[in-house]
Every structure is written in C-alpha cells, then in structure tokens.
Copies of this chain bind each other. A is one copy, B any other.
C-alpha cells in the first residue's frame, strides 16, 4: 500500500509540474527566435506571421512614385508579441527578433495617385498580397550590419520565395544604417504601438 502511495504521489508531482510549466509558458515565455536558417545560411520563409502583432502600415503607392515605388505598395509590418513586449520594456528588440514586412498592392486605382473613391471616402484600400521583406536581429551572425540581417522574399504576388539569402548592405542595411541606426535599425517612428501614441 505504501508503494502505491509513493507511485501516486510521484504521478501527482509530475502533473503538478506540468500544470505549472504550462502556466509559466503562457505567462512569461522567454523570447526564442523563430528565425530558421538552412544549411546554406538562407532564411526560411516565416510562417504564421499574419497572426503576429501588427504595428503599422506605411503606404508608398506607385502613383506617387513615378509608377514604380521601391516597395509596392502597402507595407504591413508585424512583430511577435514576445519580442514586442521586450521592446516596450527596454526600448530595444531582443536577440532573435524577426520583423516581417508584407506588401500588398493598392486596390484598383481610379485616380492617377493610385487612390479610388469608396463610401468611406477617397483613398487607398488593400489590393493583392505583393511580397515580403524580413529583418532578423542576431548580433553575431550579422555583426557587419549593426546586428540585423535583411532578407527579400520577392516583391510579387503569392507565392513568395521559400527561402532568401542575406541581402547585401547596399540593398537594405545601408539605408537603415543611414537613417535609423540609433533606433535599433528599425523605423520605429512610423509605428504608433512602438511610439505609444
């Protein structure tokens, strides 16, 4: 009987520990990077990012950029909640942070500036998905570009590339370094949730 009791108590301890770890996992998950690199060092296309926290939607319509915006056209920017939480506490993103910028076209323009009229007013509305750029913070891997790696999965409709090699500094990091080196290489000034207003 005493042996049974010991076995039952052990089972109880295991279940209690599991219950606690589930609880801890939901309340205070330690940031762990979701960036996955293949054997060649290419970054795999992030998954599930549309369920991350959306932080802002810069819009550079072709119609306002001589017909060919560098990023056509809406930029939907997403950060994982666990990394956003650290940023809001500390003012910088933790190692391993992945930031996704998914592009969409504007919906069927009827004015030369790319806008159209809808019952809510004249303006811009999301058209088709049109590409993705991703940054990953890893101070060792990307030491040459201020600790961030830059990846372009194509600027075109779905499907995007399945993986992407690191973009050259001239393609991405150079511009970020020139303008936003002091704010963790990120355009935080465009994202209300990061500015807090």
Q: Is A58 an interface residue (CB 8 A)?
A: yes
Which residue of B5, B60, B120 contacts A120 across the interface (Cβ within 8 Å)? B60
Bound-state Cα–Cα, A74 to B107, Å: 15
Q: Which residues of B contact A71 (CB under 8 A)?
A: 120-121
Q: Nearest-CB distance from A27 to chain B (Å)?
A: 12
Determine if A58 and B9 form an interchain contact, defined as CB atoms under 8 angstroms apart. no
Q: Is A167 an interface residue (CB 8 A)?
A: no
Count of this chain's copies in the oligomeric assembly = 2
Q: Is A155 an interface residue (CB 8 A)?
A: no
Which residue of B22, B50, B61 contacts A19 across the interface (Cβ within 8 Å)? B22
Q: Which residues of B contact A123 (CB under 8 A)?
A: 58-61, 64-65, 69, 73
Bound-state Cα–Cα, A63 to B41, Å: 46
Stretch at the interface among A32-40, A90-98, A146-154, A188-196: A188-196
Determine if A179 and B4 form an interchain contact, defined as CB atoms under 8 angstroms apart. no
Q: Is A51 an interface residue (CB 8 A)?
A: yes
